[in-house]
A and B are shown apart, each in its own frame.
Chain A
Amino acid sequence: MNEIVISAKGLAKTYGRGAKKVAAVRGLDLQVRKGEIFGLVGPDGAGKTTTIQMLCGILTPSSGSAIVENVDVLQNADDLGGEIGYMSEGFSLYGSLSVEENLDFFTQLYKVPPEIAYQRKANLLRFARLNDARDRRAEHLSGGMKKKLALACTLIYQPKVLFLDEPTTGVDPASRQDFWKILYEFLAEGITIFVSTPYMDEAERCNKVALMNQGKIIASDSPAGLKGILQGASLDLIASPQIRALAALRQNPAVRQVQVFGERLHLLLSAGQEHPAILAEQLKTAGIDVASYQATNPSLEDVFIAAIQEKEATGVPTGAAAVHQPDTIERSTPEKRASNHIAVRVENLTRRFGDFTAVDRLNFTVQQGEIFGFLGPNGSGKTTTIRMLTGLLPPSAGRASVGGFDPRSERAAMKSRIGYMSQKFSLYNDLTVNENIRFYGDVYGLPPERLVERRKWVLEMAGLSGKEHLLVNQLSGGWKQRLALGCAILHDPDILFLDEPTSGVDPLSRRQFWDLIFELSNQGVTVFVTTHYMDEAEHCHKLGLLYRGRLIARGSPAELRANMKLGSLLEIPVNDSLAALASLNAIPEIIQTSIFGDRLHILVWDVEASRLSIEQKLASQSLLAGSVQVVPVSLEDLFMLFIEMEEAGRKARQAHG
């Protein structure tokens, strides 16, 4: 076994004093071996950045110890020299310097000999596909390119240990893939990687994962090991009517958690419970038609939620609140549910800033009561589109109709019918829950009696009854999020705009939030949501994929998958990921391969035809570590293919243009 290069014992960090004390990290222990990719997974506020900064030696812990590459980072952080690299959450590049100048700065700072620096620079630029942008100023790069450049700057002096803090948050899938490819290449040279991420699916790429919540590690193992805890506990069910199925399942003690993915219900079953067939029977006797059910592999998110709930059961506070069951909440005007009429219509909507086209001829419609998801990486035009639809920004061309109103000319009338929740929650941190609600009530012009009843409604929905006198900055992320939602729908709007509503919230709260959204949709509210979490797309009825201002795909998740004729995704556990990757190069039927920790994900057109040859190839080199399984193609893979098609089309247009 490899030696331990990172070890932490009882690491803790507390900020503030007295009543304002905040424990960011509480008694953390971990160990990372040489050559491993170690993932620290958890939502915002879990303490990931604090942990990484302490391990790098740039933040003094309140207690505990940490040793990196045999150096005590508390006492002798200076001895680390150029052994570690650190990529912080922001960009930490020099904006007015060019790509090349940034790289040069780091080679000089770390005293890399010039000939070697030259070689490495060339390699990294090529690998990161930044060669054409060599002389471009860093501030003019896209988000994904900035992250790749930041990575290149830390790799150019070849540290032994690399710390990455949320390196791919908000980045387009293509750049994300590039990013991980670069990492895997360098892994071959023996670098140990410590990465923190809020994305559960990114955690799958690591050899070992530690789940972190509220300053503590609640579970730690390889991804397979973690999922093994929940073996047999995960079930996918398709039933109708879905609402009743949902209600019945929630009340069923055998079911720990239910989640809605379009028409699919994803269940997390309680420990040691009976065969899923029994569950299906129970539903059938209740008059609910079960179309199909299938045991599935639990996801890391399932594991996380189960771990959080364990802690709750043992009385350790986790900050994830028990939310009032949404199916008993009623809207005050239930007759609002209109049938099949179009809530939002967008025609050739365009917005230009100078000669930069942020939004390019969008065309789509959203039905009343639908959940419409607007997906895309940062910078693709999502926020600009929402601003145009809410009347905050006039379009350069095209038209929009929101709830029958023109956002530009009928803004005042429209505003009482729409609600908007921004990314940063737009709550006043130093006001209480009550005061925030009252403020928004006043802003929307609610008459006093109405405000009273709506306030009660919001408190109940958000699970904050009894907590109305708490200051907002005393609430955890999940509660703030629900309160912000409540404030956005205080005036009972028909159409709700949510701009990245779940960034920075723990998985349990995220699920509960989506339950609320789903409930609202059932009551006839149209929900327009933007996100860069691809897995949340599954919750939506319809999706619009936005890339560089253009709508490159549109339709329900099922439709998109069907239309793409994507082929199938094989998951294969292997002994040596890089060697396995190399050995499969020759097989032509493979569309795409990526490394996920100790597994390969292989996209093929024809499962039956390719499966055998792949298995044989790997087995012949003793690389096969388990059986081949077919797993669902993720929306991210889907999106990647759409982007590639778009890019190909763009180049073709430029060539003939």
Chain B
Amino acid sequence: MDSVLPILKKELREIWRDPYILGVAILLPLVLLFLFAYAFDLDVEAVPLAVVDLDRSAQSRSYANAFANAGKFNLEYRLADPNEAARQLDRGAVQAVLVIPGGFSRTLLEGDTAQVQTLLDGAFPTSAMVIQGYVEAINAAFTGQYLKTHFAALGMGSNPAITPAVQAAIRVRYNPGLKSANFVVPGLIGVILMAFPPLLSALAIVRERERGSIQQIFVSPLKPWAFILGKLLPYGGIAYLELLLILLAARYWFGVPVAGNFGLFLLACIPYVISTVAIGLLVSTLTRSQLTAMLLAIVLTMMPAFIFSGFMYPLYTMPKILQFYSYFFPARYFTEITHDVFLRGSGLQDWGPQLAFLSAYALGLIGLASQRFKKKVS
């Protein structure tokens, strides 16, 4: 261990005196966290809506109000002309348009189904689907209410026609409010830790190579593993610091609740952090220039973490071959752990295997990097 100390101390000193490294290590992850958390806000709220009421009856007004009071729509425009409404949709001023036809209330009174033309902005399919869901739900509620009032007026009370045969008793466990932040932010932890620490650790070694100071290490009796560890520990420490900052932001800014054992989680983060830094060290044994190191690091870490960790899109929706591919990246296992701890509150028995794998992965990377690091110029 005393072989590792000189490298460790020197590295810490250099990092402390280099404002750029500290900036990248501390500030950029937080910036990224906020950017992505807000950009990936999947909640669909306050949808701007335009209503064209060509009937102007009590029924049509009541129908329009059902939307206005549903809590998901902002009734921005009440218009007289459907073309005008379509224009607003084109402009993006509204995301949904209802055109209530002229014979709306008469159709209802005759006992027929009234067709209400509903235009949705499909440019963002996911939100369009959610809005469609809202519309159908509101329609169903309105229909039920109308029928109830209608039958009550006819003196018929409850009627099998309006009582559904099967009702789904839906309870949403794990993130009952379906707040997307609670889902996105824990997943982001894994991604952000994959973005910067590997970059920093890769550059650390390549920079010494470019400067030439690494030749002194070559000539010295220092063993390769001692050198690798001496680089790994300081950057691992910084990565862990990044992690703590992100967790603070997650808890106190985004209000993400933690369902499971937080202390255990902090421990579980250690092998993951080590893996991220070790990947960077491995990259540095593959390349001589800082530029290539950066590109390699990004391709091997950030991109897979983004797409294949399961932080945005559940992995089971992907083709099997890509699911298999995702097993190669530690971000996948870590994201499973974070989702478990934050949202499901399950314990070690559920994510034990993932943890074991991460630890093995970390040790494997360290071994590989040490073995590949040759004390030779070429």
User: Which of A80, A89, A92, A111 counts the most chain B CB atoms within 10 A?
Assistant: A92
Number of interface residues of B (CB under 8 A): 24
A86 x B216 contact (CB < 8 A): yes
Q: Chain A, 70-106, contact with B by CB distance < 8 Å: what is the 0/1 string?
A: 0000000110111011101111111011000100011
A82 x B220 contact (CB < 8 A): yes
Q: Is B6 an interface residue (CB 8 A)?
A: yes
List chain B residues, Cβ under 8 A from A81: 221
List chain B residues, Cβ under 8 A from A629: none
A94 x B14 contact (CB < 8 A): yes
A110 x B221 contact (CB < 8 A): yes
Stretch of A52-60, A322-330, A453-461, A523-531 lying at the B interface: A52-60
Q: Is B377 an interface residue (CB 8 A)?
A: yes
Q: Which residue of A lies closest to B217 (CB)?
A: A109
Q: Is A473 an interface residue (CB 8 A)?
A: no
Q: Is A108 an interface residue (CB 8 A)?
A: yes
Q: Which residue of A lies closest to B222 (CB)?
A: A109
Given that A53-B377, A59-B376, A97-B13 are known contacts, is A86 also in contact with B215, CB under 8 Å in the complex?
yes
Q: Chain B, 194-229, contact with A by CB distance < 8 Å: what is the 0/1 string?
A: 000000000000000001110110111110000000
State the CA gap A110–B9 with chains docked (Å).
15
State the CA gap A200–B104 with chains docked (Å).
104
Q: Is B251 an interface residue (CB 8 A)?
A: no
List chain B residues, Cβ under 8 A from A137: 17
Q: Is B141 an interface residue (CB 8 A)?
A: no
List chain A residues, Cβ under 8 A from B248: none
State the CA gap A468–B156 with chains docked (Å).
106
User: Which of A60, A96, A109 counts the most chain B CB atoms within 10 A?
Assistant: A109
B221 x A92 contact (CB < 8 A): no
B222 x A88 contact (CB < 8 A): no
B375 x A77 contact (CB < 8 A): yes
CB proximity of B246 to chain A, nearest CB, Å: 28
B219 x A56 contact (CB < 8 A): yes
A96 x B17 contact (CB < 8 A): yes
B219 x A58 contact (CB < 8 A): yes
Q: Chain A, 26-66, contact with B by CB distance < 8 Å: what is the 0/1 string?
A: 00000000000000000000000000010011111000000
CB proximity of A430 to chain B, nearest CB, Å: 18
Q: Is B78 an interface residue (CB 8 A)?
A: no
List chain B residues, Cβ under 8 A from A108: 5-6, 9
Given that A60-B378, A92-B215 are known contacts, is A109 also in contact with B220, CB under 8 Å in the complex?
yes
List chain B residues, Cβ under 8 A from A91: 212-213
How many A-B pairs fall under 8 Å by CB? 72
Q: Is B150 an interface residue (CB 8 A)?
A: no
A60 x B376 contact (CB < 8 A): yes
Given that A82-B220, A108-B6, A109-B222 are known contacts, is A90 also in contact with B13, CB under 8 Å in the complex?
no
Q: Which residue of B lies closest to A93 (CB)?
A: B213
Q: Is B110 an interface residue (CB 8 A)?
A: no
CB proximity of A94 to chain B, nearest CB, Å: 6
State the CA gap A80–B219 with chains docked (Å).
9
Q: Chain A, 137-165, contact with B by CB distance < 8 Å: what is the 0/1 string?
A: 10000000000000001000000000000
Q: Chain B, 1-31, contact with A by CB distance < 8 Å: what is the 0/1 string?
A: 0100111011001100110000000000000
Q: Which residue of A lies closest to B11 (CB)?
A: A94
List chain B residues, Cβ under 8 A from A85: 219
CB proximity of B202 to chain A, nearest CB, Å: 19
State the CA gap A57–B374 with chains docked (Å).
11
List chain B residues, Cβ under 8 A from A57: 219
CB proximity of B285 to chain A, nearest CB, Å: 16
State the CA gap A450–B10 with chains docked (Å).
60
Q: Chain A, 416-438, contact with B by CB distance < 8 Å: what is the 0/1 string?
A: 00000000000000000000000
A59 x B377 contact (CB < 8 A): yes
Given that A82-B221, A86-B219, A105-B6 are known contacts, is A97 also in contact with B212, CB under 8 Å in the complex?
no
Given that A85-B219, A96-B17 are known contacts, is A59 also in contact with B213, CB under 8 Å in the complex?
no
Tell me the chain A residues, 364-412 only, with Cβ under 8 Å from chain B: none
Q: Which residue of A lies closest to B2 (CB)?
A: A111
CB proximity of A195 to chain B, nearest CB, Å: 16
List chain A residues, Cβ under 8 A from B375: 58, 77-78
State the CA gap A58–B10 with chains docked (Å).
22
A84 x B376 contact (CB < 8 A): no
CB proximity of B214 to chain A, nearest CB, Å: 8
B6 x A94 contact (CB < 8 A): no
State the CA gap A96–B11 with chains docked (Å).
10
CB proximity of A139 to chain B, nearest CB, Å: 10
State the CA gap A137–B2 with chains docked (Å).
25
CB proximity of A232 to chain B, nearest CB, Å: 45
Could you say which of A56, A90, A110 contacts B211, with CB atoms under 8 Å apart? Answer: A90
State the CA gap A58–B222 with chains docked (Å).
13
Q: Chain A, 237-277, contact with B by CB distance < 8 Å: what is the 0/1 string?
A: 00000000000000000000000000000000000000000
A97 x B378 contact (CB < 8 A): no
List chain B residues, Cβ under 8 A from A88: 212, 215-216
State the CA gap A112–B211 with chains docked (Å).
25
Q: Which residue of B lies closest to A85 (CB)?
A: B219
Q: Which residue of B lies closest to A77 (CB)?
A: B375
Given that A58-B376, A59-B376 are known contacts, is A94 also in contact with B219, CB under 8 Å in the complex?
no
List chain B residues, Cβ under 8 A from A105: 6, 9-10
Q: Chain A, 609-629, contact with B by CB distance < 8 Å: what is the 0/1 string?
A: 000000000000000000000
B6 x A109 contact (CB < 8 A): yes
B211 x A97 contact (CB < 8 A): no
CB proximity of B203 to chain A, nearest CB, Å: 15
State the CA gap A111–B376 with chains docked (Å).
22
State the CA gap A650–B2 with chains docked (Å).
46
Q: Which residue of A lies closest to B226 (CB)?
A: A109
State the CA gap A56–B222 with chains docked (Å).
15
CB proximity of B157 to chain A, nearest CB, Å: 85
CB proximity of A377 to chain B, nearest CB, Å: 21
Could you say which of A77, A78, A86, A94 contacts B10, with CB atoms under 8 Å apart? Answer: A94
Q: Chain B, 240-266, contact with A by CB distance < 8 Å: what is the 0/1 string?
A: 000000000000000000000000000
Q: Which 9 pairs across A and B sit closest by C-beta, in order of nearness?
A: A108-B6, A90-B212, A58-B218, A96-B17, A86-B219, A92-B213, A59-B377, A81-B221, A109-B6
Q: Which residues of B contact A (CB under 8 A)?
A: 2, 5-7, 9-10, 13-14, 17-18, 211-213, 215-216, 218-222, 375-378
Known contacts A90-B211, A105-B6; 20 additional CB pairs below 8 A are: A58-B376, A59-B376, A59-B377, A59-B378, A78-B221, A80-B219, A82-B220, A82-B221, A85-B219, A86-B215, A90-B212, A91-B213, A92-B216, A93-B213, A94-B10, A96-B14, A97-B14, A101-B10, A109-B7, A111-B2
Q: Which residues of A contact B (CB under 8 A)?
A: 53, 56-60, 77-78, 80-82, 84-86, 88-94, 96-97, 101, 105-106, 108-111, 137, 153
* A-B CB contact pairs (8 Å), 26 listed: A53-B215, A56-B218, A56-B219, A58-B215, A58-B218, A58-B376, A60-B378, A80-B221, A86-B215, A88-B215, A88-B216, A89-B212, A92-B213, A93-B213, A94-B10, A94-B14, A96-B13, A96-B14, A96-B18, A105-B9, A106-B216, A109-B6, A109-B7, A110-B221, A111-B2, A137-B17
